[in-house]
A = this chain, B = another copy of it.
Amino acid sequence: MEQFVRIEDVLEQKLQGQELAEVKRILYGPETSSLEFSCDASSLANEKKVELRGYKFPCSEEQTRIPRLVRVGVIQNCIVRPTTDSVLEQKNAILQRMGDILEIAAKCGTNIVCFQEAWNMPFAFCTREKQPWSEFAESAENGPTTKFLQEFALKYNMVIISPILERDETHGDVLWNTAVVINHNGIVVGKSRKNHIPRVGDFNESTYYMESTLGHPVFDTKYGKLAINICYGRHHPQNWMMYGLNGAEMVFNPSATVGGLSEHLWSIEARCAAIANNYYTFAINRVGTESFPNEFTSADGKPAHKDFGHFYGTSYATAPNGSRTPGLSRTNDGLLITELDLNLCRQVKDHWGYRMTQRLELYGERFTEAAKPDFKPQIINGN
Q: How distant is the Cα of A183 from the Cα of B22 in the complex, in angstroms?
A: 41
* Contact with A380, one of B22, B189, B211 (Cβ below 8 angstroms): B189
Q: Is the CB of A359 within 8 A of B221?
A: no
One digit per residue, 1 when the CB lies within 8 angstroms of any chain B CB and 0 when it does not, for chain A 339-383 equals 000000000000111101111110111111111000001111111
- Within 8 Å of chain B (Cβ to Cβ): is A77? no
A25 at the interface (CB under 8 A from B): yes
Contact B7 A27 (CB under 8 A): yes
Known contacts A235-B352, A265-B29; A370 and B381 CB within 8 A of each other: no
Chain A contact-residue range equals 35 or more
Q: Take A199-B357, A357-B232 as given contacts and tell me if A379 and B225 are in contact as well, using a CB distance cutoff of 8 Å.
A: yes
Q: How far is the CA of A46 from the CA of B272 in the complex (A)?
A: 37
Q: Mark A265-279, 1 if CB is under 8 A from B, else 0.
A: 101110110011000
Closest to A268 in B: B272
Q: Which residues of B lie under 8 Å from residue A268 when comparing CB positions?
A: 268, 271-272, 275, 322
Residues of B within 8 A of A364 (CB): 364-371
User: Is there an interface contact between B218 and A383, defined as CB atoms closer than 8 Å?
Assistant: no
The reply on A264 being an interface residue by CB < 8 A is yes
Supposing A217-B380, A272-B272, A382-B189 touch, asked if A322 and B360 sit within 8 A by C-beta, the answer is no
Given known A190-B382, A197-B357, A365-B368, contact A275–B216 (CB-CB < 8 A):
no
| CA gap between A247 and B377 in the complex, in Å | 7
Q: Does A23 contact B (CB under 8 A)?
A: yes
Picked from B189, B238, B382, the residue with its CB within 8 Å of the CB of A238 is B238
> CB distance A323 to B264 under 8 Å?
yes
Contact code string A13-34 (vs B, CB < 8 Å = 1, else 0): 0110001001101111110000
Residue A242 at the B interface, CB < 8 A? yes
Query: In the bound complex, how far is the Cα of B16 from the Cα of A10, in angstroms?
Result: 11
Q: How far is the CB of A319 from chain B (nearest CB, A)?
A: 11
Copies of this protein, total: 2
- Chain B residues contacting A359 (CB-CB under 8 Å) are 195-196, 211
Q: In whole angstroms, what is the CA distance A19 to B10 when docked?
A: 8
Indicate whether A181 reaches chain B with its CB closer than 8 angstroms: yes
- With A264-B27, A364-B367, A382-B159: A358-B220 Cβ-Cβ less than 8 Å: no
Please, which residues of chain B bring their CB within 8 A of the CB of A22?
Answer: 1, 4, 7, 10
A-B contacts, 25 listed (Cβ < 8 Å): A1-B25, A7-B22, A7-B26, A27-B267, A190-B382, A198-B357, A199-B357, A215-B366, A217-B379, A218-B379, A219-B379, A219-B382, A220-B379, A220-B381, A235-B276, A236-B358, A245-B370, A245-B377, A246-B379, A264-B322, A264-B323, A268-B322, A360-B367, A364-B367, A364-B371
9 closest residue pairs by CB, A with B = A364-B368, A29-B264, A237-B237, A364-B367, A272-B272, A361-B371, A219-B382, A360-B371, A221-B382
